[in-house]
Amino acid sequence: MALRKASAYSKFPARPFTRTSKNKSKSYIKTIPFPKVVKYHIGSQKDYREGKHTHAVRLFSEERVQLRDNALEAARQALTKVMDEKALGQYYLAVRVFPHHFLRENKTAAGAGADRMSTGMTQSYGIIIGRAAQVGAGQEVFFISCVNERIARIARDALIAVKAKLPCATRIVFQELGK
């Protein structure tokens, strides 16, 4: 089944839906889809912790939105590809949000007759089709620290290119890390 467009899930009026149980018979959700984001920390994390990085570039969400895990993974892959080609081993990338929220979809009736699913089940439960991260306005989504200013400018250009993969308005902050 193909994915629905992002506008179907990008606005969230309710609290996060994450109810699961270790006891499968007591859980509302019987199967949980794995998040598509493979890695949350990429690059030289050791150098960042030791203070060898002098510059940082951050991407913030400007609005309250749900970011699906496939959008986060697409952005992460694009960032990793650019940074590995131009600055291998001289950066640290972190994805700062985690897709906890489960997305549900109600099946529609196909064929003649049984349209009970379409009309008689308002606010029905639906099946789990994916995950999303609920991001608030001003919340950090991606963080990249770099060894020098030249690499930080490459990271900034990569984040500008990645903005198109996210379903929200974003802001990029370029800063010098204090020593």
pLDDT tens, 41-88? 999 999 999 999 999 999 999 999 989 999 999 999 999 999 999 999
140 vs 89: CA distance, rounded Å: 23
Best CA proximity match to 80, nearest among 72, 19, 177: 72
Best CA proximity match to 57, nearest among 136, 179, 170: 170
Task: Name the class of domain 30-104+127-176.
Answer: alpha beta
Q: Residue 20, Cβ neighbours under 10 Å: how many?
A: 15
CA max distance for the chain:
70
Domain ranges, ordered by start, for the chain: 30-104+127-176
33 vs 103: CA distance, rounded Å: 10
pLDDT tens, 79-108? 999 999 999 999 999 999 999 888 877 766
Q: Residue 133, Cβ neighbours under 10 Å: how many?
A: 24
pLDDT tens, 133-155? 999 999 999 999 999 999 999 99
